[in-house]
Amino acid sequence: MTREEPALEPALERQHALLRGLLFDPAFRETWRSGEAGLTAAEARMLAPVDHSQLDATVHRLGRDVRRRARAGCGTLEEIFAGSLASIPDGDRPALFDAFVASTHYARVRELPDEVTGEPVEQSFAAFLGERGIGAAVTRRQERDRALLKSLARHPNPGFALPPQIRSGGRGFYVVDSEGGEHRLTAAVDGELIQGAVTGVIAAVLREPSLSARAPPRVVQRLVAMGLLSASAVS
């Protein structure tokens, strides 16, 4: 059963969307294989020449490329998540990255320059590892956030949707990660990466700037001077 042809969408744009779906959307790829993707007759003809085995090989190459690709200023995903991946033998890693590219996590990644929304790959890869129980949760979080903040230090106008754990404030971005009563700050301010332990008071104020009214003035002044809070947000 087919649906009506799209009235206004240019054929080339639709072809691009369909091919991208085959490469990056595992759910669409499986419904296409089973003939249940709900394509129009024209769309079905458009995808008819696609060979299933060649598509699988292309997805495998994508996994290899994602594994090897260096992120600006951060290295490859293997280098970024070195601690999390420490227990995975080298021989098992190609299959792991193939599985990542075929996952719903990778389907959310912004990979093409003309896309304006989507997750950064570091965010999606950390979630993928967490789903598989690979690495300690605190290690995954800190490796993920350090890479994202390094990227934001270099490019403060991100081309991706800002992940929920990252806050913008003052002259940059920051994350406060808490584990076992300890609080760690990772921030990108004025092009510089800042990392270190912080007190519970500082962690609370950074998470909820409205609490600055009840915090010691010297703490608030220091955070404003560091570029983590804006003066207007705490006045």
The pLDDT of residue 9 is 55
Decide if 12 contacts 20 (C-beta within 8 A): no
Instruction: Calculate the average pLDDT of the chain.
Output: 86
How confident is the model over 150-179, as a mean pLDDT?
89
pLDDT higher at 96 or 21: 96
The pLDDT of residue 5 is 46
Of the listed ranges 11-15, 18-22, 57-61, 104-108, the least confidently predicted one is: 11-15
Over pLDDT 90: what percentage of the chain?
46
The pLDDT of residue 173 is 95
Measured CA distances, 97 to 17, 66, 79, 89, 219 (Å): 23, 7, 14, 13, 44
Measured CA distances, 150 to 37, 44, 68, 71 (Å): 40, 43, 19, 10
Band of residue 45 on the pLDDT scale cut at 50, 70, 90: confident
The pLDDT of residue 209 is 87
Q: For residue 45, what are its two tokens?
A: 């003809």
The pLDDT of residue 110 is 67
Residue 62 has pLDDT above 80, yes or no: yes
Residue 8 has pLDDT above 50, yes or no: no
Decide if 41 contacts 34 (C-beta within 8 A): no
